[in-house]
Amino acid sequence: MRRVLVAGAGNIFLSDDAFGVEVARRLADIPVPDGVEIADVGIRGVHLAYQLLDGYDLLILVDALQRGGEPGTVYLIEPDLDAAAPVGGGDPGQPPVDAHGMTPDAVFATLKSLGGTVGKALVVGCEPADLSEGIGLSPVVAAAVQPAAETVLDLLAETAVPNMPDRDHYLKIRKM
């Protein structure tokens, strides 16, 4: 059986940084096949890296990503996990990572530093409009939550998760 983790990351106190958390919440009540986990990891990037040590065939990480596009743009990225530099460049004299400010690259670097791997990783990201202190997504990023959730469902169906119905099945059961 394939093990798949869908992890929503972000800080709910920094406006649009909560994007990944909101997508995970949107998906949380949807029944998924055995072997698929949906988790709100919030700002616990180090915890996520340790969880990945349990062995996953696929990680779908959902997060706010600043890539220079229009706010609300949803991205799908397949990171090069082999290119992730170990935390501190492998130098034990380097300071530890900031556990509350880990980007996807830092999560993958921490995993590598711990000697772990994941079969494949995909990042579903959204260009934020506002990362200032505050609770709640900006309207343009809030509008991107549904398309991102649908992207995650499509990815699960496309990656040969056994018994994974297509996205339309879920949309009929529960309007997300």
pLDDT, one tens digit per residue, over 74-130 is 999 988 777 655 555 545 444 444 444 567 778 888 888 888 888 889 999 999 999
pLDDT at 170: 53
Picking from 134-138, 143-147, 153-157, 172-176, which range would have the lowest pLDDT averaged per residue? 172-176
Picking from 8-22, 98-112, 114-128, 161-175, which range would have the lowest pLDDT averaged per residue? 161-175
d(CA 168, CA 150): 9
Distance set, CA 126 to CA 34, 60, 98, 102 (Å): 28, 14, 22, 16
Q: To which residue do tokens 């106190």 refer?
A: 13
**β-bridge mates for residue 127, sequence order:** none
Q: How many CA atoms lie within 13 A of 15 on its CB side?
A: 15
Task: Report domain extents, the chain.
Answer: 4-173
pLDDT at 122: 93
pLDDT at 131: 93
What's the CATH architecture for 4-173?
Answer: 3-Layer(aba) Sandwich (3.40)
Is this model's pTM higher than 0.75 or not?
yes
d(CA 145, CA 26): 8
